[in-house]
Structure 1
Amino acid sequence: MSNRELIIPANVALIPDGNRRWAKTNKMNLFNGYNYGIKKFVKFSLWLKSFGSKSLTVWALSTENIQKRTSQELSILYKLYVRAAYDKEILKMLDDTQARLKIIGNRKLIPKAVNKALSSVEKRTAKYDKFYINVLLAYGGHDDILYAAKKLLASGAAPRSISEDSLKKNLRTAKISDPDLIIRTSGEERLSGLLPWQSSYSELYFSNKYWPDFGKADLSAAISEFSRRKRRYGK
């Protein structure tokens, strides 16, 4: 399919799965495995922007991950997040592409040092508007809906007055555009609770490749497949 025939998804969501299995297959430790995953995400963001997409939402860490992963693994991830927040190459990419980065999730579950580092990137990119990167951290789809419901009740809203619109406006993910395309790597064919409110009409693309092995040609294949889909939106 030629570039002229491609229908570019404006908003893409990503579940970059398979870092641990990739590390094991390549006889690497978890630190290097996840580090490769972060480097691939930087490349992926640039590829996606070059295709013409407007936003990217990536699920970096779920509430379930925080509950079930070992403290050692979480420590590795937190260390890498802090390092990424001060990485000159990553910051240059955000500056050069005028990309705004936003962290979304239950940040009370994240160590203060990690929050501080990530907040510095949010502040640095706050005025950028050429591309949007939403990082879901300490995020769960059910938790997001529960958060919105509790927020409405705490505001004094009467149960009968709660509507779909009011619930949506109170989600942590309220400002995220509904994804046109959701990509998940590593062969797992499920969403695991990603953006349940926003993904009703999203097209799904599952790749058998582990995240660090996912290349530009794979993204092109995903967009080509998206272009062949007929989106009816319930019609």
Structure 2
Amino acid sequence: MIPSPEFPGSVPRHVALIMDGNGRWATARGLRRLEGHRAGLEKVSEVVLGMAEAGVEFVTLFSFSTENWKRPRDEVAGILKLLAEALERTAGELDDRNVSIRHLGRLDRLALPLRQGVERVVTRTAANTGAVASFAFDYGGRAEIVEAARRVVTDKIDAHSIDETVFGKYLHTSGLPDVDLLVRTGGEKRLSNFLLWQSAYAELYFTDTLWPDFGREEASKALAEYAKRQRRFGGL
């Protein structure tokens, strides 16, 4: 991987982003919360492509958690409608730039047309050879680990042969490298059940910037901060 000339230091191979603050962004502007989610979706391609241009190979975005189903029914319905509307447009923008798309999480709780739409864009972009953009939708870190454990048991894997590599193949992120940099927008400083296994050694970057305001400039700040940090593994 050729380091970005803008960031001559270390460039993270895998960046994960928790897209937080859509509702607060809208409320601060006297808008409905749903308008914040709309504005947030419009930022996705910009951030993914900006990361890819800087040399990031894998970008994973946390867009809807398993816990988000507990939000008000009309808000959830609105988010799903917006996703369906933005899916083809976003996929087209990323496909045009040779980005492949993956889905992490459950699909069975989505309405059939939306589920088919997700499957369609994943298949459509599978042969692309540029960056990989993974969208964690109806995803939860603990649920992912429990599901992986169940599959290990179902496959009757010998207990003595189970190690981190074997277990990792049963996660939604099988085939993806561990997270190097985890970014959370919106001012909160927690992981919120996102990529718990994969972020064990990730550098954490928190910003008060709300997701709809997080564009290329803010992404550049996160990458520049990562480049300053000295990565250590296996000890303090």
Which TM-score band (shorter chain)?
over 0.9
Which runs of 5 or more structure 1 residues have no equivalent in the other structure? none
Distance 1:167 1:228 in 2: 32
Question: Larger deviation: 211-220 or 16-25?
Answer: 211-220
Counterpart of 1:51 (choices 50, 54, 57) is 54
TM-score after normalising by structure 2? 0.92
Equivalent residue runs for 1:182-193 within 5 Å: 182-193=182-193
Please list the CA deviations of residues 39-65 of structure 1 after superposition, one character each: whole Å capped at 9, or x if unmatched: 111111121112111110001111111
Residue in structure 1 matched with residue 71 of structure 2 by the alignment: 69
How many Å apart are 1:207 and its aligned residue? 0.5
- What 5-or-longer segments of structure 2 have no aligned partner? none
- 3-state SS of the aligned residue for 1:12? strand
Where do 1:29-44 residues align within 5 Å? 29-44=32-47
| Matched residue, 1:173 | 173
More helix by share: 1
Contact 2:23–2:34 (CA<8 Å) still a contact in 1? no
How many equivalent pairs are there? 231
Structure 1 residues 150-159 or 190-199, which shifts more? 150-159
How far apart are 1:179 and its partner, in Å?
A: 1.4
Residues 162, 91 of structure 1: CA spacing in aligned structure 2 closer, same or farther, 3 A cutoff? closer
Deviations 1:106-151 (A, max 9, x none): 2122222211111111121111011100001111110011001101
Would the aligned equivalents of 2:22 and 2:211 in 1 still touch at CA under 8 Å?
Answer: yes
Query: 1:176: how far off?
Result: 2.4
Q: How many angstroms apart in 2 are the aligned matches of 1:3 and 1:163?
A: 38
Identity of aligned residues (%): 34
1:134-175 CA deviation, whole Å, 9 max, x = no partner? 001111110011001101111223445433332211112222
Tell me, in whole angstroms, the C-alpha distance in 2 between the residues paired with 1:212 and 1:143: 28
Superposition misfits of 4+ residues, deviation over 4 angstroms: 158-161
Q: Report the Cα distance in structure 1 between the residues aligned to 2:159 and 2:73, rounded to whole angstroms.
A: 39
Aligned-CA RMSD value: 1.6
